[in-house]
Structure 1
């Protein structure tokens, strides 16, 4: 067969005799042979025959058009010689395997560029089989090839959509979501992608309406393929804008996706979306651009820009449809993230409002606090510092189960209850018992059918500690909460074993307290379990970090809080963290005066004289008349209505406290005497003259106290 006849219907006489021997001479073979030749030459499937050296010996018209190389240029040459932009080495290795084994290779897919369409990558599906003559001699290999670019691109687009959908459901962080969108599309769909959103959306606010052309956006993602230049583009976090009357501005205003090829001059200004504070962005050069608005609730809230540089081709209509679908799925994630951000901001605002805005300075306790919300949202952690009578201070820390507004609201109810109970001067274990009853009531509200089910989002832990600067002791009780850290002045850190009470909301089990003596200058650190419950980390690591921060006992307390918490990453914490560190100071002997009073009305005058003597020694003589009257009323009341030993104690701190102890458990009651009544005015006078007053029960009786402001 002459080379000029290759690719045409073969002439039977041109075939070797061994092939023609199969004819029966009836003429019927001549007709079939001609039809077979036309089938091979005119088949719409590209076909070629390679010899044993893998050089072309025959091709049909379909393959000639598919590759864009004339038949005469192919014959006698190898695949790598005529189509260098294909992966010829791997294709020829398949053909050699077929020649050696005789096993066909079916539907081998590869990608590349051909002379027929040099600017666009195509996908081809090729099947190979070995050719043998009647004697079994291997003559070569034949392959049939189909252009399956549409199938390949459809599969790639489905894969892009699938990966984009997975990213949408993976995170509620707008920046990470936008980065994921860019990672999915680069480099498969574009060489460079930028994502810009309204500031209002990033803050969790709802936006309705149409964006004007000059609307300022903020860049939340910028990602380019390897070698893709992004010089002149606004960095992530910067404000951006599209020039007036540019396709970007029109796309924002109309909300309609747009694609085009732009020249270097056209790309100045509007593709770059440059930072408002910076100089105009330089030209990015000729490129293909695709602009897809981000729409939520029918309103445009941002823009996604796709860029391609030569030699990649322009975006086609299918690319625009795929990009619009991907951005639409990402917009669902943006909306979910916006709603989550709004709820989180609301819960955080509520949390901050319910937490102490300012810790009042206490002469006997220096305090530093820190609260860190988790990556999963605001929780129910709280702390408090409550001044008590007798210069004592209550230190409280707690943790409500769950996250979000409900947890923050429950925390606020518990904190309010703690402050109310603290005003009653109850012991720590009784405080926790009342809180447990409160939590049981909250649970009952959530379970009105009395089914006995305890909602998983209800429950709390709490640690309540009362520091007495006169005795220099702290009495603590806990309800399912981690024990505190106690630091001696020499820097040694211990975690005392306190009676482990059950979490609040279980009911039925008692709480117990323990007393710990503290030296002057000691530290007391209260924390929630979010400090050490970190995903993928041993809890001891965080506790050792806290131990190391507290060991430097003479450092500022704020520095200790920072060292203990600043390395905690929100993304790795599933719970929020509250930390309270207190440095305690005791009262000196010159600030406390005690007098044992006989149970005799005649001893009242001695008590008044003792009070006046103490006030003169403290330089508080101006309070003498008022203090004497308070002491007289309190001591007289104890002598008349109580039994057992009576003791008067005066404490000079930020206020002057007068305390009278007796052995009775009967609490005095404030009465409003009528005009002709002879008694009942004592406590009324105490209430009128004092800053505040109250009753505190002890193990062996009670104590009535009253406070006077210092001049």
Structure 2
């Protein structure tokens, strides 16, 4: 083992390449990036050989060789002058990667004679280009530059060069595998996050907004989503990193026709991802109106690349997602393509579910409108207000009733069929419609509940329905009431005092076959009677009496008229998954 003194003594010794290679191998063991590999090679070996510059060129998936890491003064000038190198080129880097042979030249004159395309390009006069290979595959090359061919170390020993290239190739390959694993793990975490985010959304617009927020800037600094509407692709979300004003402006751009000769429409029509090595002016002009296209083309920022991914649901395209970046240098990395396609696929499924949910909600809204009174009657002497909130936004088993009868009296009532959704709504509709028919026939509230109980017992004995019905004379405020297991109404006096009204509670409809008592009740002028369902006061695990007391206090504290009272009680309802319904009758 060498001590530190020996290492320092030998660090400038160009006559011991084995020691330099040993030190290089040890340094490369800690290198995790191409830049670290290039720096280690230069510091521990190449500098001792008299080299002044070095660079690593790696072959991309698009068969283009790009400078990935460099050390020395002229590397950036070289990249700026030469740029990316196609694998099919006859330049030294492409020749070395294709053939796996070492290429060198000892002067600028020799270089320009052999490769006329390099005339006028600044660079080291003497250069050696070494192939980089690992796992039986050429994946790049390494260039090393000397200030002149006259230095004692040029050309270096070929065995030293081969050993150096082998060490660097192994380190670069390991760094690439490490980076690929890291990016793959990050991509999977990204998609997992996208799945959780999108399955929690049930509004298509919310899903699209979540999509672009996730994509920018993790996948690209620019993302736009278009959704098909007939023969047009409507721009529904745009996100430009760091430029919310531009994002808002582009949202005002018009739609893109599905038959347009632009990448967006092509990806939609073919249902295949489309890669754009270069976003050309005609792409921009064909996608945006003239003033917006002119603005975008004036932004600069170098060459932008892009990709367009179809958003699919049920085996067909429902839109597209576009991603743009100036950093991809031709095509997006494979992990970006994988993540973008995965994200678009998840968005498509989520949007499909959201659209089905929206269609169901719309149908439920129509059903709800059909099951409840179309409007409250306008009557001299009575003022009515009603509010209705189904659990989860759908239909429910709660209902209210306010209907003018043929004899001039008014049928009012409220009820609650157990359960939620369509089954509860079906039971509610059956009971409500039967009650209306019985009232029109002149049946009093007590006898009405008798008939309704027999109806439920005969058809669906497992169902339970509570209801409170009254028939009022709007001129006098007098009326007859009957209660089938429903919470008592609340009477609010002209002075704002409030209390429950004692009505003999009969059993719920459909529970037992027994007659219901009737009670006479008069509403004096200035009073308001509140009918409600348990969704306005019940809390899980709480005594229902406490909830009713709380509702009575809320009614007493509410100001304004019938509408204000109904709003106050509905807005004050506890957090609950139960349906809620309230009817306020005022004189």
Query: TM-score w.r.t. structure 2 length?
Result: 0.63
- Judge conservation of contact 1:461–1:480 (CA < 8 Å) in 2: yes
C-alpha displacement of 1:486: 1.8
Pick from 472, 492, 511 the counterpart of residue 467 of structure 1. Answer: 472
TM-superposition CA deviations, 1:524-580 (whole Å, max 9, x none) = 222334445699x9978994896268532xx4x4455456557989xx764444332
Whether the 8 Å contact between 1:192 and 1:306 is mirrored in structure 2 is yes
Partner residue in 1 for 2:317: 300
Give the CA deviation at 1:348: 1.5
Judge conservation of contact 1:46–1:146 (CA < 8 Å) in 2: no
**Which residue in 2 is equivalent to 1:332?**
349
Could you say which residue in structure 2 is the equivalent of 1:69?
A: 39
Q: Which runs of 5+ in 1 are unaligned?
A: 12-36, 49-58, 78-112, 120-143, 200-210, 445-453, 585-711
Q: Comparing both chains, which one has the higher relative contact order based on Cα–Cα distances under 8 Å and sequence gaps of 6 or more?
A: 2
* Cα displacement (A) at 1:473: 3.4
| Maintained 8 Å contact 1:164/1:184 | yes
Q: Which residue of 1 aligns with 2:413?
A: 396
CA distance in 1, matches of 2:203, 2:435: 36
- Post-superposition offset of 1:234: 1.0
Please name the residue that 2:29 is paired with. 47
* 8 Å Cα contact 1:289-1:305 kept in structure 2: yes
Find the aligned partners of 1:429 and 1:261 in 2 and give their Cα distance.
80
The equivalent residue for 2:200 is 170
Q: Is the 8 A contact 1:379 1:575 kept in 2?
A: no
Specify which of 163, 170, 191 is matched with residue 161 of structure 1: 191
Question: Of 445, 448, 454, which aligns to 1:428?
Answer: 445
Q: Distance in 2 between matches of 1:323 and 1:290?
A: 9
Give the aligned partner of residue 369 of structure 2.
352
Which of the numbers 524, 543, 547 marks the counterpart of 2:555?
A: 547
- Residue 10 (structure 1) aligned to one of 13, 19, 25: 19
**Conservation of the 8 A alpha-carbon contact between 2:221 and 2:325:** yes
Equivalent residue for 1:581, pick from 558, 579, 584? 584
Does the residue aligned with 1:9 lie in a helix, a strand or coil?
helix
Structure possessing the higher radius of gyration over alpha carbons: 1
Report how far residue 341 of structure 1 moved: 1.7
TM-aligned CA deviation for residue 411 of structure 1: 2.7
Query: How has the CA–CA distance of structure 1 residues 397 and 259 changed in structure 2, closer, same or farther, with 3 Å as cutoff?
Result: farther
SS of the residue 1:358 aligns to: coil
Q: Determine which of 446, 464, 482 is the counterpart of 1:477.
A: 482
Label 1:257 to 1:146 Cα distance change in 2 as closer, same or farther (>3 A).
closer
Q: Which residue of 1 aligns with 2:272?
A: 256
Determine whether 1:381 maps to 2:384.
Answer: no
User: Quick one: distance in 1 between partners of 2:521 and 2:203?
Assistant: 46
Q: CA RMSD in A?
A: 4.5
| Deviation of the 1:114 alpha carbon | 6.3
Superposition deviation, residue 152 in structure 1:
1.0
- The answer to whether the Cα contact below 8 Å between 2:207 and 2:347 also exists between their aligned partners in 1 is yes
> Is the alpha carbon distance of 1:340 and 1:309 closer, same or farther for their aligned partners in structure 2, counting shifts above 3 Å?
same
Partner Cα distance (2:233, 2:225) in 1: 13
Superposed displacement of residue 371, structure 1: 3.4
Q: Which residue of 2 aligns with 1:362?
A: 379
CA distance in 1, matches of 2:513, 2:388: 32
- In structure 2, the CA distance between the partners of 1:268 and 1:343, relative to structure 1 (3 Å rule), is same
Aligned length: 449
In the TM superposition, what is the alpha-carbon distance from 1:150 to its structure 2 partner? 0.7
Distance 1:566 1:222 in 2: 36
